[in-house]
Amino acid sequence: MFESGKSGNPGGRPKTKPFKDALMIEALSAERGEECLAPKGSLRWNARQLLMQGDVPSIRELADRLDGKVPQGVVGGGEDDDPINVIQRIILVAPGHDDSKD
């Protein structure tokens, strides 16, 4: 039953990155000269195929779709600029006040 004030998912979203993990396992395995032991069509098998082909755009696309894109910071025009600040100004005007005389 739902309790007011308590999260239904206190641990938050899982922090796993399955494609990244598959890439790391297969990259290390390939570096050691080991064959891919994962079943054909599995995530690890596909990661190995892309690594062997050197298909960086496909690797990036799959990683973005399966593991989520890397968050990007919001900054101004250049690298040395501070983050964008939003400034709001609220002006209270009394009823009947003519602000053109100020």
Judge contact between 51 and 30, C-beta under 8 A: yes
Report if pTM > 0.75: no
Give residues with Cβ within 8 angstroms of 62, minimum separation 6. 19, 46, 50
Return the structure tokens found at 66.
């399966």
| C-alpha triplet 73, 77, 82: angle, nearest 5° | 60
Q: Could you give the angle at which helices 56-67 and 18-31 cross, rounded to 10 degrees? A: 140
Judge contact between 59 and 65, C-beta under 8 A: no
Return the structure tokens found at 52.
């062997």
Grade residue 18 by pLDDT with cuts at 50, 70 and 90: confident
Return the structure tokens found at 22.
């598959």
In tens, the pLDDT along 51-79 reads 999 989 888 888 888 888 877 766 656 66
Reading phi first (left if > 0) and then psi (alpha if -120 to 50, else beta), residue 99 is in: alpha
